[in-house]
Structure 1
Amino acid sequence: MKVLVIFCHPVETSFHATLHQDILTSLKAAGHEVDDFDLYAENFNPVLSREERLGYHEVPSNRIPVEPYIQRLLAAEALVFCFPTWCFGLPAMLKGFFDRLLMPGIAFDISDPKNVRPALTHIQKISAVVTYGRPRWMALYMGDPPRKVITRYLKVLTGAGTKVTYHAQYHMNVVTPEKLGKFREKVKKAMLHF
């Protein structure tokens, strides 16, 4: 399976960087063809410009500014996201990925505005590996926007049959090394069986 891994963390020595490498290694060991999209390393520009917003609904010219990224998204059969939760939301860089790439003609078809249809129907599986600084109950209290984006919004864009998994480590501010090790093993196992 062709898997697009979307990694979002600016620090190469972070726990997330370790998770990112675990994901890549495990997916490749399982025989998948992996496209590693490291948003920071590739200097992805997350800002939706004025011109892009004005042309947002102009299919197919709306894709011109981000065409190389769109080609990678359209070539994928599965998506794996690896990111931290900041301020109970997606990191700005990852939010910009969604803002700039998940547009009409790519992620959804709005030729009939009353009947918007998913366009990423070639995506069969989605997974996310996510960390939170606070406990699970606090994420639930805040509505857990990252979980909803991955498990609900992306499912709307890919179709009801898409299998979605979400792997979260909560309370990173106080988690023990043993728990981090267990989470890493859980992620490796999930990617080996992806």
Structure 2
Amino acid sequence: MRVLVVYAHPVETSFCAALHRCVVSTLADGGNAVDDCDLYAEGFDPVLSRAERIGYHDVPGNRAAVAAHVERLIAAEALVLVFPVWNFGFPAILKGWFDRVFLPGVSFVMRDGKVVPNLFHLKRIVAVTTYGGSRLRAILAGDPPRRIVMRVLRATAPRARIRHHALYDMSRADQARRSAFLERTRMLMETIR
């Protein structure tokens, strides 16, 4: 399977970086064609410019500024997101990737003023993430990252099986808990074929 891995963490020694390495190596070992998109390493600019916003609905011209990222998304059969949750949301660089790449004509199309999904080629979407706080704190805050993965991404890729795989309470996770989560992540990636 062709898998686009989108990774969003700036620190190479972080636990999120270990998750990223686990995801990429397990997918590759499983015979998948992995397109590893490290947003920080690639210097992705998350800022939606004035010109991009003005031309947002101009299909296909709206792709020009991020054409390479759009092509990578379109080529994928699976999308795996690896990121930490900061302030109950995505890191800004990942939020900017969604803002700039999930465009009209890419992730959805407009028909008679209605949004219609367009990522029918995606068979799997998996979010691998960590939260500093507990699951209860995330629930009390509405757990926006989980909702976006499970509801909004589903609305763009209705045929995809979607999974939100999270380690909550990372701030208090000891080595045993982190190791167990890494192992569960490896096992999850083995199911993507």
Q: Name the TM tier (shorter chain).
A: over 0.9
User: 1:100-157 CA deviation, whole Å, 9 max, x = no partner?
Assistant: 01110111111421x3211111111000110000000000000001011111101100
Mapping of 1:91-130 within 5 angstroms? 91-113=91-113, 115-130=114-129
Structure 2 match to 1:164: 162
Is 1:192 the counterpart of 2:190? The answer is: yes
Aligned amino acid, residue 78 of structure 2: A
Distance (Å, rounded) in 1 between the aligned partners of 2:55 and 2:112: 18
Distance (Å, rounded) in 1 between the aligned partners of 2:174 and 2:80: 25
Distance (Å, rounded) in 1 between the aligned partners of 2:97 and 2:134: 27
How far residue 172 of structure 1 moved from its aligned partner, in angstroms, is 1.1
Q: What SS is found at the alignment partner of 1:57? A: coil
Distance (Å, rounded) in 1 between the aligned partners of 2:53 and 2:102: 12
Q: What SS is found at the alignment partner of 1:110? A: strand
Runs of 4+ displaced beyond 3 Å: none
Structure 2 match to 1:73: 73
Is 1:133 the counterpart of 2:137? The answer is: no
Distance (Å, rounded) in 2 between the aligned partners of 1:135 and 1:88: 11
Q: What SS is found at the alignment partner of 1:100? A: helix
Structure 1 match to 2:180: 182
Distance (Å, rounded) in 2 between the aligned partners of 1:139 and 1:165: 17
Q: What SS is found at the alignment partner of 2:129? A: strand
Q: What SS is found at the alignment partner of 1:173? A: helix
Distance (Å, rounded) in 2 between the aligned partners of 1:20 and 1:29: 14
Count of matched residue positions in the alignment of Structure 1 and Structure 2? 192
Structure 2 match to 1:155: 154
Q: What SS is found at the alignment partner of 2:105? A: coil
Distance (Å, rounded) in 1 between the aligned partners of 2:173 and 2:21: 20
Structure 2: which 5+ residue stretches go unaligned?
A: none
Structure 2 match to 1:5: 5
Aligned amino acid, residue 61 of structure 1: G
RMSD between superposed Cα atoms in Å: 0.7
Distance (Å, rounded) in 2 between the aligned partners of 1:157 and 1:112: 17
Distance (Å, rounded) in 2 between the aligned partners of 1:111 and 1:62: 17
Structure 1 match to 2:49: 49
Is 1:28 the counterpart of 2:49? The answer is: no
Distance (Å, rounded) in 2 between the aligned partners of 1:105 and 1:192: 32
Distance (Å, rounded) in 1 between the aligned partners of 2:48 and 2:150: 24
Distance (Å, rounded) in 2 between the aligned partners of 1:122 and 1:36: 19
